[in-house]
Amino acid sequence: QKSSSWSALFAEPMNELVKRYTASVFFDRRLWRADIEGSLAHARMLAAQGILAAADLQAIEAGMAQIAGEIESGQFEWKLDLEDVHLNIEARLTQLAGDAGKRLHTGRSRNDQVATDVRLWLRGEIDLIAGLLAQLQGALLDLAERNTDVILPGFTHLQVAQPVSFGHHILAYVEMFSRDAERFTEVRARVNRLPLGAAALAGTSYPLDRESVARALGMEGVCQNSIDAVSDRDFAIEFTAAASLAMVHISRFSEELVLWMSQNFGFIRIPDGFTTGSSIMPQKKNPDVPELARGKTGRVVGHLMGLITLMKGQPLAYNKDNQEDKEPLFDTVDTLKDTLRIFADMVAGISTVPEAMERAALRGYATATDLADYLVKKGVPFRDAHETVAHAVKTAMAQQVDLSQLQLADLQRFNPAIGQDVYEVLSLRGSLNARDILGGTAPAQVRAQVARHRARLA
């Protein structure tokens, strides 16, 4: 009878608190499917290389099938004493398959095993996230398409700047989320490499065929340095960085949704199912979903800081510090997936209040630049035109009217070249239509961008 589950070397059992402190089974059990997949690929390669007998492989395969069933049905008994997902599954396999189970770990260490498991698991999650990002982009495209001709006051410094198409504004977010999708694709390629065969840190003396294991697992290649293979977690850090950026984009959008649905703006409505009431103020409908998403962005960015700090002082190769990579990584994945899913649904239900947006655009002299451009076309140098229009705005402010409501005679006092055609330029819609340049806000351009994005996502 061994006094410790580790080996004969240990004279006394593990301290109870230390056992709990060092165990990861309560959170890393979610890697079980990847753990079994990796073990089966390893065992099949061992058999093909003549390191494991065919009968042992069969026993391992049958045992793993049973274990998968037990875990899926909730019957598997996870044991704290067995520290982590890897040792729990291996111990159960040995119960079921006897010596064959004990042979599975030949040429392998938990160090290359855990790195492989996390990569396999994360690869699957990245694929789910890619699908959710596509859904969100699809919902935003629908919203943009429905509102291509709706005029929103575009802001800089949160001051009314120039009128833009609401659809154009929404397409800015489609651009951001499409770059997020690209980033995840690039990260995926670096996640999808195989550490197995690195063993503890130095490689192994068994004639393993690492390339065949990589192929069997659908990986794009093997990690080329055994020391790096077991100690690198930058794949997890860059995933979390990409997730942080995606959340930052969600957060900026959230901030705008919160503003837009406040009484002072009143630009949009979001479906009741995505708002909450107040326990004291009966009139309230609060935008809790965007607010929480903005808050959860801080949490994901915090995980990025946690992971990057986790790595900075570690000497090569594997250190137990790395066990701390899992909770932040798992929580990042959970938070991002939930957020993307909810936003795709919520965006589908957003409706706009075009009159409110137009009224706001009219209040802010949003066509002042258009008047300056009009004067430039009449031969006035731009800097002079800029100054002239400032005077016109001052006059309009004093009269409490929009530029388009000034009399022609008044306008002509600023510059005699101004004619009746100026009123086309001073209208919000005229301003919008004038920006008919690639990437600009003219509705024709917006429609072309919607079509481009649709083709890209198809």
State the residues that interact with ligand ARG by CB under 6 A.
24, 28, 84, 110-111, 114, 318, 320, 322-323
Paired strand residues for 352: 268
Shortest distance, CB of residue 201 to ligand ARG, whole angstroms? 10
C-alpha–C-alpha distance, residues 297 and 307, integer Å: 16
C-alpha–C-alpha distance, residues 103 and 121, integer Å: 24
Shortest distance, CB of residue 114 to ligand ARG, whole angstroms? 4
The CA distances from residue 189 to 17, 42, 127, 228, 355, in Å, are 40, 21, 12, 17, 47
Residue with tokens 């694929």: 127
Nearer to ligand ARG among residue 31 and residue 442 (C-beta) = 31
Exposure letters 36-45 (e unless 16+ CB within 10 A, then b): bbbbbbbbbb
C-alpha–C-alpha distance, residues 430 and 442, integer Å: 9
Shortest distance, CB of residue 301 to ligand ARG, whole angstroms? 23
Shortest distance, CB of residue 321 to ligand ARG, whole angstroms? 9
C-alpha–C-alpha distance, residues 296 and 293, integer Å: 5
Per the CB < 8 A criterion, the answer to whether 88 and 82 are in contact is: yes
205 noted as active-site residue: no
DSSP string, 224-287: S-HHHHHH--HHHHHHHHHHHHHHHHHHHHHHHHHHHTSTTT--EE--GGG-B--SS-TT--B-
Nearer to ligand ARG among residue 24 and residue 441 (C-beta) = 24
Q: State both tokens at 240.
A: 């979390």
Q: State both tokens at 353.
A: 């209040």
Nearer to ligand ARG among residue 184 and residue 235 (C-beta) = 235
Nearer to ligand ARG among residue 84 and residue 402 (C-beta) = 84
Nearer to ligand ARG among residue 324 and residue 424 (C-beta) = 324
Shortest distance, CB of residue 2 to ligand ARG, whole angstroms? 18
42 noted as active-site residue: no
C-alpha–C-alpha distance, residues 53 and 49, integer Å: 10
Annotated catalytic residue within 4, 262, 278, 351: 278
Nearer to ligand ARG among residue 45 and residue 114 (C-beta) = 114
Annotated catalytic residue within 157, 169, 178, 244: 157
Shortest distance, CB of residue 246 to ligand ARG, whole angstroms? 26
Catalytic residues: 157, 278
